[in-house]
Amino acid sequence: MTNDTDLRLEKAFKAYGTVKALDHVDLSVRNGELLTILGPSGSGKTTLLRVVAGFAEPDEGRVLLQERDITFLPPAKRDIGMVFQNYALFPHMNVAENVSFPLQMRNMAKVEIKKRVTWALGIVELGEYAERLPRQLSGGQQQRVAFARAIVFDPRILLLDEPFGALDRKLREQIQLEVRRLQQQLKLTSLFVTHDQEEALILSDRIAVMNAGRIEQLGTPHEIYERPINRFVADFIGISNLISGVIEGQDRSVAVVRSKDGQLFLVAADAIPTQGTNVIVLIRPERLVLLDDGAERSNRLSGTVAEVIYLGQSEKLRIDIGGGRDMLMHRQSRLGGVQLEVGSTVNIGWTPEDAHLIVEDTVGQP
């Protein structure tokens, strides 16, 4: 184990009956990073978290925390700070008592406890609320108490189990950024579990996309979004236009793909599969441009506008390109220029660099 790794799973395997919740998962969380486990429900992300926290034991494999094997160590001995989905604050204790709980369990001296609780409540800016009961606080404040309680004992790592789910949208964004800022400020190695891809993109240093007990892809938010490794990841993260086709040839670093209905598309790629390989071309909706505005692109499609959703700062278009297929397009709204209405005929296009090539053989089963 290298020194910059705080947490490592080695071939972790756990099955519930015939369902593999963890299918030989390898994962390393680096010192100080926030790594997100992202996946739909039933993907195994909660099991992974429970195995790390100590609430479940893997059937096979090991969990290492700062080079120590903790696979069978009880949760209380792991020194892991955890923020729960519903915060799990103790309703019969006030804020200060909640935050001091982990310190009391460590039989710390009273003076030290007081000092640390003051510090932690100061960090989340709740110093004046020490005497309040959790139910007298707003959702956002409760969330911050839960965070203070998770970091007050200087944990080795921090686990966050969908901690923002109960907050309304506006508050959620604010608290997310706050947690991210504190996490970076305190250099806390963090493992964050969520099913919300937007949240994952905002907060993470790296994202591990999980599906059916396996990690499909591990990478930075940018890599995950722009270079998904298979159909599952492409579908799960963001909105995707996917065109199935076959490799026809290549021109230096540009692949030529023939789609099922015979059209040719150019896709820039580092490694181009051999001729005849089944591939998927991914184009994100915001990469599409309207050629009728006067733009030039080497890949083009024409169709009719089937739906327009106006969002204020931008608009979403669904364009019927025939054969029962749609392309989704996302563009900045503007004054003037071509105004689109349902039924208008449009030409859309994109450059080879706007598209991403996925080899069909590595398709994940969603």
Footprint of another protein (CB under 8 A): 53-55, 74-76, 78-82, 84-86, 88, 90-92, 101-102, 105-106, 135, 149-150, 153, 159
How are beta strands 355-359 and 345-350 bridged, if at all? unpaired
The tokens describing 4, both together, are 């910059």
How near is the Cβ of 28 to another protein at its closest, in Å? 22
- Report the residue number, 78 or 227, with the smaller CB distance to another protein: 78
How near is the Cβ of 289 to another protein at its closest, in Å? 48
How near is the Cβ of 124 to another protein at its closest, in Å? 16
The side-by-side arrangement of strands in the sheet containing 68-69 is 19-30, 5-16, 60-65, 68-69
How near is the Cβ of 340 to another protein at its closest, in Å? 47
How near is the Cβ of 90 to another protein at its closest, in Å? 6
Q: Using CA atoms, how far apart are residues 46 and 74, in angstroms rounded to an integer? A: 18
Spatial neighbors of 156 by CB under 8 A, at least 6 apart, are 6, 65, 66, 78, 79, 80, 189
Its sign, for the CA torsion 40, 43, 45, 47, is positive
How near is the Cβ of 69 to another protein at its closest, in Å? 19
The tokens describing 23, both together, are 């299918």
Amino acid 207 reads: I
Angle (CA) 299 301 305, round 5°: 140
- Report the residue number, 54 or 221, with the smaller CB distance to another protein: 54
Amino acid 329 reads: M
- Report the residue number, 76 or 239, with the smaller CB distance to another protein: 76
- Report the residue number, 145 or 283, with the smaller CB distance to another protein: 145
- Report the residue number, 46 or 240, with the smaller CB distance to another protein: 46
- Report the residue number, 101 or 225, with the smaller CB distance to another protein: 101
How near is the Cβ of 17 to another protein at its closest, in Å? 14
φ/ψ of 219, rounded to 5, equals -175, 180
Question: For the packed helices 110-123 and 95-105, what is the interaxial angle rounded to 10 degrees?
Answer: 130
How near is the Cβ of 319 to another protein at its closest, in Å? 46
Q: Which residue has 């004054």 as its token pair? A: 335
Question: Do 7 and 157 touch, CB atoms closer than 8 A?
Answer: yes
Maximal C-alpha separation, the chain: 76
Q: Using CA atoms, how far apart are residues 219 and 356, in angstroms rounded to an integer? A: 16
